Amino acid sequence: MSGMYNAHRGMGPAPGNPRLNELLDQVRAEFETQARASGEYEHSIGQQLQEMQMVREKVYQMEQTHMALKQKYDEEIARLHRELEARGGPSVSRTGGPPQHVGPTQAPPPSIGHGPSNLFGGIMAGQGQSGPGLPPQPTPQDQGPPQHQMPQPPGLQQGPPPPAQGPFQPTGQYGPPPVQNGYPSQGPPPPASPGTIAKRGPGRGPGAPATPNLGPQHHEQRPGPIPGPSYNSHVANVGNALAELDLERLPDHQKKVESDWFAIFNPQIPRVLDVDLLHTLQHESVVCCVRFSHDGKYVATGCNRSAQIFDVHTGQKVCVLQDDSADAAGDLYIRSVCFSPDGKYLATGAEDKLIRVWDIASRKIRNTFAGHEQDIYSLDFAKDGRTIASGSGDRTVRLWDIETGNHLMSLSIEDGVTTVAISPDTRYVAAGSLDKSVRVWDIATGYLVERLEGPDGHKDSVYSVAFAPNGKDLVSGSLDRTIKMWELMAPRGGHPNTGPKGGRCIKTYEGHKDFVLSVALTPDGAWVLSGSKDRGVQFWDPRTGTTQLMLQGHKNSVISVAPSPAPGGYFATGSGDMRARIWCYKNIAPL
């Protein structure tokens, strides 16, 4: 065995075999070649990194230079504007117009969130923002001394409410200069940062992306002349944009001018309405929402930390509902209020993500519903008296039962919910969203039966929806400055999610000069009401799409409009000027 083993070992290569040495030399040479190539690559990459760093530094320097030049340019423009006004020239102040810079015509609306970057923050502070929903710093020509920072409803300008003005002096111009028309002027807004995502504080949950920039859509949707005979050939035909008419040039029957409000009636169609102010309800903060009781005797308002109830006929405050157990730090705006059909309860939705159902007689909380993960922006009470729908920035619509105290259903969508409405027959719930669409669900099954969008749909976030009294039509208002009437088509047979959605846009109302923040229909369905960041309220004929009148009665955005469900022609408005107002309209013989 030993001999065999030794013989076997002798079969291997002998030490110093030339062939092996040659192969090793080749491997060593190849390794050295690759090492040199690798070193060259590393040197080349290092040079490229240095070049990129130089480019980055040059771009940064160019940006700094650009910012410095732009700041000087803006300061010079502001100085020239002030000099022009001081010399008696025309005012250059603007209300709700696009930013004074080349590029996108409008900053993106804010994303839903909390605090100063929430849905309602910054819209009224002008178009310039450092990010969606983030109000710019106040400037001397825009407002008075700095006030406490608060999450603001759509269109709220920062700073104190405008000071009381003298007698009303009509000029007929939209966005009047100081001391004219009783409205304060606003300086040109700073440039915006389109497309920025709103930043959120710690523990705030997921935020929603900013809605896309409006771009040139507004230029494409300019309202044209209303067809039909001209009732006043000497008055410029501005279509539904009544704010563009010169108030002083209008004949008396086409306007109504009072000490601190005025109405313009469309000169291109017969005047068939009159309007009057009944009460001004002063508040200590922004009025986020207004809502009538079903018998029309009371109107509720939502503001900072409290909901308030007023007698419609006397204008007297009869009730204040405030949860003293809520965190006292900071602001707590009541975004939505809604009476139960029997008038016994008032539901409120707030920034603390809670729904409170108040027993009005006892001033006590009957139900508290928790579950939403972000601010609650909208509530609606069903006609059955027990179901409540809520919409929140957490991208859900939720249904609640006040009798059992249960959460019935959660309906999720892709973006924040801004507004909800329950149909008159309690079969459907509709919601508007930051994603520009309106959705309608079957309440019994939770199935999505309509998604109203597309080429005929809104071009920006939907802020308000309301069912028509017939339950078959739906009206929506959007940041694209339009109102749309939709005809709903219930699915016929089969699973609601399998067939095509049948809803279609049957009419688009154009004429507001800025975001449409609230829409509603009168109980007889004869008129569509709208409130806007342009401070105006308009009455629209739902059949023709023409506006009957434009009412200017607030010194800030009209955040909420609500008609009374009862006969009598009452309607209410809530505004960023810290006031709610109760009005009435009536039919008159055509003028």
Q: How many C-beta neighbours within 10 Å does residue 351 have?
A: 24
Nearest CA among 175, 179, 164 for reference residue 93: 175
Q: Is the separation of the CB atoms in 483 and 528 below 8 Å?
A: yes
CA distances from 369 to 111, 164, 364, 400 (A): 24, 41, 15, 8
Give pTM, 2 decimals. Answer: 0.66
Which domains, and CATH codes, for the chain? 238-286+512-590 (2.130.10.10), 291-376+384-412 (2.130.10.10), 416-490+500-510 (2.40.10.480)
SS (H, E, C) 117-178: HCCCCCHHHCCCCCCCCCCCCCCCCCCCCCCCCCCCCCCCCCCCCCCCCCCCCCCCCCCCCC
Residue 476: its H or E element: strand 473-478
- As a whole number of angstroms, the longest Cα–Cα distance in the chain is 132
Other residues' Cβ atoms within 10 Å of the Cβ of residue 427: 16
pLDDT tens digits for 237-293?
A: 788 889 899 999 999 999 999 999 999 999 999 999 999 999 999 999 999 999 999
Specify whether the CB–CB gap between 236 and 194 falls below 8 A: no
Q: How far apart are CA 168 and CA 41, in angstroms?
A: 78
Give the pLDDT confidence score for residue 43 in this predicted structure: 87
For residue 170, report the phi and psi dihedrals to the nearest 5 degrees: -70, 140
Print pLDDT tens along the chain (591 aa): 444 444 444 444 455 688 888 899 999 999 999 998 888 888 889 888 888 888 888 888 888 888 888 888 888 888 888 777 776 665 544 433 333 433 333 333 344 443 334 556 655 444 333 333 323 333 334 433 333 333 344 444 444 444 444 334 443 333 443 333 333 433 333 333 323 333 333 333 333 333 333 333 333 343 333 343 344 445 567 888 898 999 999 999 999 999 999 999 999 999 999 999 999 999 999 999 999 999 999 999 999 999 999 999 999 999 999 999 998 888 999 999 999 999 999 999 999 999 999 999 999 999 999 999 999 999 999 999 999 999 999 999 999 999 999 999 999 999 999 999 999 999 999 999 999 999 999 999 999 999 999 999 999 999 999 999 999 999 999 999 999 999 998 654 445 455 545 689 999 999 999 999 999 999 999 999 999 999 999 999 999 999 999 999 999 999 999 999 999 999 999 999 999 999 999 999 886
C-alpha–C-alpha distance, residues 169 and 92, integer Å: 18
Q: How many Å apart are CA 186 and CA 172, to the nearest integer? A: 17
